[in-house]
Amino acid sequence: MRLSPLRLLPVLGVALVVLGPLGLLVYQSLLSAPFFDPTASYSTEAFRYILSNPDFHRAFGTSFLISLGMTSIAVPLGSLLGFLVVRTDLPGRRWLEPWLLVPVFLSPVVVAFGYVVAVGPVGFFSLWSRSLLGVVPWNLYSVGGLIMIAGMTHVPHVFLYVSSALRSLDPAVEEAARVTGAGPWRIAFTVSLPLVWPSILFSISLVFLLGFELFGLPLVLGDPGGLLVLTTYLYKLTNLLGVPSYQLMAVVALSIVVITFPLVYLQQRLLGTAARYAVIRGKGQAFRPLPLGELRWPMLALVLLWLLGVVVLPLAGVALRSVVRYWGEGVSLTEVLTLDHFRRLVGYPNLVRGIINTLLIGGLGGALAVAAYAAIALSSHRWQSPVVSLTDYLVLVPRALPGLVVGLAFFWVFLFFKPLSPLRSTLVSLWLAYTVVWLAYGLKLISAALLQVAPELEEAARVTGASQGLIYRDVTLPLIRFGLLGSWLLIFMMFVREYSTGVYLLGPGTEVIGSLIVSLWGTGALDLIAALSVVEVAIVGLALFFALRLGVRLDA
């Protein structure tokens, strides 16, 4: 295919926004002081210190273990869930869907805190368990507990990818399997899921990477007991030498970036050629859900059990905390009930503005981000070139950088790169930073959908004389509309939750819910945090619910 500037520009744009902050970090890692300090000189001291530091090795090992563990929980469960909800006649599947996504938009610190209130050593459920059974049979603060919770709460990420790919799957292939007598399990494992292998494979890399990036969960659940992971180690580096040592932090961040390379390489090797996965062919067929038969209700029970563990448990903890003055061992709940926290929340400075900004950045910003991702995805669509496989590496990099570092990197870029500096402290800078960080997410969602559009559809249009632009507008984009809507929804929730990326770009007037939560966390106003989180869940939940029920038909 001809190399046109239209194809090249978006790719160059990606390279710029990713390599800018990354280059800055590489540069910083090779200096002896902050890069803006006139006394800074080239030095490999930071690398030598980190690589020989036993704490780093310990933290890296723990992070690796947690990543591995949570990937092996989240990916199978998420894929299965996607199959059940999208392809089968699971009872109530359309009502379930908004709930499945709840863990995605809750701040991990809040989720972790919810678990502490619900099943911590003196949590509500632990105290019930102790009074009923005499013991608390679980330990929330163990590595196992952390892996379990991290794995379960990342199920929705996998679910979103797999389900969106499954939605565009031609039902004829499953139908064919069914008429030859295959049961739902057989169909899932030998037909449907293998056909969405690209999405599953990508989920694996992503969840694995997110495991290294976990911060809120290990900070709240593991850190007090001395469990060190890479991000909490990074946190330690801000204080270890008195003032934050950027060069050390940069080295640790780069060590996570390095992990993305084998991940992407493996992905590319395993996927081979995209044509194998094209299943939206030139012929359409009506969709009929696969009957689960007698498995219907047991499967529903399984899904509900997962919901109980991942949504109900932490949310119940947070919700309970929002209506009690205090809680714990020796407290009778009826005596401490109050609505005061909500009343105080109403009077909290800048609350309304924070909520509006959050919805704005999630809704409008999310839509704009999806448009940008679509432009990028289309530009590399059906383009066999080393440039494209290079892009695969690039897009994962921003997500590999831990929040503590990526926030600083974006801040520096907006501060020291003069053409951008007028945008600093506006929602535009925040939007740009969020869009870059979630690049891999949105892009993969869209390109997975694109992968499944068979080339003959576009070729048919081309034969009739349509230009490339017209083909995209009238053929390709309409065919991937589910993918686009799905990724808008996902990005909306990511942007609502995101905080650390923008921490240095926020100021008075651009507060978001995330920043309010962090500032409340500092003073320990967990009662207000709980109330705010309940409000957040209510708002986002309602928006989601109506989007799914009315406007955004994911399963039309």
- The residues of the shown chain that bind another protein, judged by CB under 8 A, are 34, 36-37, 116-117, 120-122, 219-220, 223-226, 232, 235-236, 238-244, 325-331, 340, 344, 348-350, 408, 411-412, 415-416, 421, 424, 503-504, 507-508, 518-527
Provide the 8-state DSSP code for 294: G
Cα-trace Rg, the chain: 24
Contact (Cβ atoms closer than 8 angstroms) between residue 222 and residue 151: no
Alpha helices in 122-170 (DSSP H): 124-133, 143-153, 155-167
Smallest gap from Cβ 110 to another protein, in A, equals: 13
Smallest gap from Cβ 265 to another protein, in A, equals: 34
Contact (Cβ atoms closer than 8 angstroms) between residue 104 and residue 490: yes
> Which one, 320 or 543, has the nearer CB to another protein?
320
Tokens standing for residue 204: 């694996």
With a CB cutoff of 8 Å and minimum separation 6, the contacts of 519 are: none
> Which one, 367 or 415, has the nearer CB to another protein?
415
Smallest gap from Cβ 27 to another protein, in A, equals: 14
d(CA 445, CA 165) in angstroms, rounded, equals 8
Smallest gap from Cβ 284 to another protein, in A, equals: 54
> Which one, 370 or 526, has the nearer CB to another protein?
526
Task: Name the nearest CA neighbour of 237 among 502, 28, 17.
Answer: 28
Alpha helices in 35-107 (DSSP H): 45-51, 54-87, 93-100, 102-105
Smallest gap from Cβ 326 to another protein, in A, equals: 5
Task: Name the nearest CA neighbour of 325 among 530, 179, 182, 473.
Answer: 530
> Which one, 221 or 396, has the nearer CB to another protein?
221
> Which one, 278 or 430, has the nearer CB to another protein?
430
Smallest gap from Cβ 458 to another protein, in A, equals: 48
Task: Name the nearest CA neighbour of 194 among 83, 347, 333, 56.
Answer: 83
Smallest gap from Cβ 219 to another protein, in A, equals: 7
CA atoms 179, 180, 186, 189: torsion sign = negative
> Which one, 118 or 440, has the nearer CB to another protein?
118
Tokens standing for residue 3: 């190399």
> Which one, 338 or 385, has the nearer CB to another protein?
338
Contact (Cβ atoms closer than 8 angstroms) between residue 504 and residue 407: yes
> Which one, 301 or 346, has the nearer CB to another protein?
346
d(CA 490, CA 495) in angstroms, rounded, equals 9
> Which one, 287 or 348, has the nearer CB to another protein?
348
> HEC states along 412-434?
HHHHHCHHHHHHCCCHHHHHHHH
Provide the 8-state DSSP code for 65: H
Contact (Cβ atoms closer than 8 angstroms) between residue 247 and residue 27: no
Smallest gap from Cβ 338 to another protein, in A, equals: 8
> Which one, 208 or 504, has the nearer CB to another protein?
504
Smallest gap from Cβ 335 to another protein, in A, equals: 10
Smallest gap from Cβ 526 to another protein, in A, equals: 5
**Which residues sit opposite 553 in a β-bridge?**
none
Task: Name the nearest CA neighbour of 212 among 259, 159, 143.
Answer: 259
